[in-house]
Amino acid sequence: MLLVAWGYLVFLAIDLGDRARRGTEDAALAWLLLALATVGAVACLFLVLLLGTRLWRSLTAPPGRPDAPRDDRPDEPRPPGGRRAAR
């Protein structure tokens, strides 16, 4: 649904940009609506990418807890001083 709204807003922005550049009597209104359609299209595309990423992550997540670590080794205590100090 958001992807369709994005496509419509892009089409509308192109049409309004054409009207605004021609300089008809409603050019100021066309520029304003062009700016609103552009901001709306950016917001829709952002939400499409955000929701698409969440959907992709939920489809490719391992079974079980979603916040579980992906490796199967138990948590080991960290050596003091980090990896370089442990050498």
Measured CA to CA, the distance from residue 60 to residue 7 in angstroms comes to 28
> 23 falls in which pLDDT band (50, 70, 90)?
confident
Output the pTM of the full model: 0.65
pLDDT at site 37: 95
pLDDT at site 26: 85
Rounded to an integer, the average pLDDT of 35-60 is 94
